[in-house]
Amino acid sequence: MLALLPPFLGLDDDKPALHALWQRLLDEPAITTTVMEDLSMQAHERVLGWGCSVVLPPADAGALGLLGDPPCPPGPMVARLCRAWLGGQPLPTARALGEANAQGALHLLNLHYTQRPSDLADPLALAVLAVANDAFRFAVGGWQLAAMHMEGSVLDQPMFTAAGFPVCAYAGSGPWSTLPDDLRPVHFGITRRAALAMLPGTSVRQAFDHYPPRFRLSPSQRRLLWLALFDDSDDALGSRMGLSVHALKKLWRGIYERIEDVAPGFFGDEADDDGKRGPEKRRRCWPTCASGRRNCAPGPEPGARATRCVAPACATRAMRPHPPPREAVGLPDSQPRGSP
């Protein structure tokens, strides 16, 4: 998986430590990662694309020089940020993210996006990119963004500008300025004001379309609803959340009651089933989460806890959802199979 880290980041010497870092980052509410894979290929060849991003409250974004309009950071950020995390710098807490999200003050920094078929004249490359765009829209759907940023190399510029990212030059210059095109970083950035002035349609523009949560579930309810997308058993879900079967069922009942309060008739004939038709109710809940993250993203309540968002990877030829392979995202063996 780390073979897809773009060369311009200059992190090749840090890859052994990065593997352990990614295991930790996947449990951070600020991190979003998406994987595109072709299920018809061998396991070690099927990952065709990988992207990762972090959401930052204003204080963290300001430390990187991202608060301008247009945003012009002093120099390359992603490698510096990754090394800071390797050194133990903490990521934003769920509470800080929830408060900034409620204020529409979050900054999304796309750490990287790389796909193995990169020639956009190749139909497979376009198919991977289309799936990546869908996964990206799903992954960021719950964030209320003030701005979005990305770093890539000069060679990435045609793809990123076509997606709607304008180039925002670094405020300063440095050794990176004279590197060859495949190693010279470029900053792309756009504020909400500039994005909303664009016509709808691009991935960048759609990332700023915010829809408030409909049901306003509690942090633990959101976490359960998200994990349930992967169709694990109650035993696996309880183990993942550290809950007994009884506590898990109580949590499900709370979700059903909250949804029914907001949308009477949501469950139809299954509303009064005395707990006997839980699986059917659960399946009715899934589109609530699967259609977007807005019901599963951190809210403004104190202590909001969001699960990480690993958007379901997709088979690029079959175009059907599939959880990311465990070996691709470095999940520990103790996690239930199929967990995000």
- In a domain, residue 291? The reply is yes
In angstroms, the Cα distances linking 100 to 66, 111, 166 are 15, 20, 24
User: First-to-last CA distance in the chain?
Assistant: 16
Number of structural domains the chain divides into: 2
122, two tokens: 């190749």
Residue-wise burial string across 183-209, b where 16 or more C-beta atoms lie within 10 A, e elsewhere: bbbbbbbbbbebbeeeeeeebbbbbbe
* Residue 333 forms part of a structural domain: no
CB 187, CB 168: distance < 8 Å: yes
The residues, ordered by sequence, that sit 6+ positions from 15 with a Cβ below 8 Å of its Cβ are 2, 5
Tell whether 234 and 89 lie within a shared domain.
no
334 pLDDT above the threshold of 50: no
Looking at per-residue confidence, does 132 or 216 come out higher? Answer: 132
With vertex at residue 26, the alpha carbon angle to CA 22 and CA 29, rounded to the nearest 5 degrees, is 135
Task: Show which of 184, 206, 228 is a domain's final residue.
Answer: 206
Confidence of residue 303 (pLDDT cuts 50, 70, 90): very low
Render pLDDT for 86-110 as a digit per residue (tens, 0 to 9). 999 999 988 899 889 889 999 999 9
Residue 229 vs residue 302, higher pLDDT = 229
3-state DSSP: the chain helix, strand, coil percent, rounded to 5? 40, 15, 40
Residue 183 in any domain: the answer is yes
Position 149 in a domain = yes
Residue (of 37, 132, 113) closest to 324 by Cα position = 37
Domain boundary residue among 162, 180, 206?
A: 206
| One domain for residues 170 and 148 | yes
Domain-ending residue, one of 206, 228, 248 = 206
Counting residues of the chain whose pLDDT is more than 90, the rounded percentage is 27
- Residue 306: predicted pLDDT: 30
pLDDT band at 135 (very low <50, low <70, confident <90, very high): confident
Q: What does the pLDDT read at residue 185?
A: 94
Q: Which of 100-104, 145-149, 199-203, 254-258 has the lowest mean pLDDT?
A: 199-203
Q: What are phi and psi of 182, to 5 degrees?
A: -75, -15
Domain co-membership, 244 together with 118: no
In-domain check, residue 69: yes
Domain that holds residue 49: 2-206
Residue-wise pLDDT for 48-60, tens only, equals 888 899 999 999 9
Structure-token match 């409909």, residue found: 214
Q: What angle do CA 105, 188, 51 make, to 5 degrees?
A: 85
Residue 297, pLDDT score: 53
Residues 74 and 192 grouped into a single domain: yes
Is the domain of 170 the same as that of 288?
no
CB contact set of 186 (below 8 Å; sequence gap of 6+)? 151, 152, 153, 154, 156, 157, 167
| Rounded mean pLDDT, 291-315 | 39
What does the DSSP assignment read for 201-253?
TSHHHHTT-----SS---HHHHHHHHHHTT---HHHHHHHHT--HHHHHHHHH
Q: What is the DSSP string of 248-277?
A: HHHHHHHHHHHHHHHSTTTTGGGSSSTTS-
User: How many CB atoms sit inside 10 A of residue 318's CB?
Assistant: 11
H or E stretch including 321? Answer: strand 321-322
Phi/psi at 185 (5° precision)? -75, 150
My answer on whether 182 and 243 are in the same domain is: no
Q: Quick one: 91 and 190 in the same domain?
A: yes
- Residue 328 within any structural domain of the chain: no
Mean pLDDT of the chain: 78
Supply the CATH number for residue 141's domain. 3.40.630.30
In this structure, the answer to whether residues 191 and 254 fall within a common structural domain is no
3-state SS track over 49-80? EEEEEEEECHHHHHHCCCCCCCCCCCCCCHHH
Same domain, 8 and 43: yes
The two structure tokens encoding residue 240: 């993942």
Q: Examine the domain organization and report whether 234 and 154 are in the same domain.
A: no
| Token pair recorded at residue 147 | 């701005």
* Predicted local confidence at residue 13, as pLDDT: 81
Q: Partners of 189 in the beta sheet?
A: 149
- Does some domain include residue 213? no
Q: Is residue 245 part of a domain?
A: yes
Q: Could you tell me if 28 and 160 lie in one domain?
A: yes
Helix (H, G, I), strand (E, B) or coil at 160: helix
Same structural domain, 164 and 196: yes
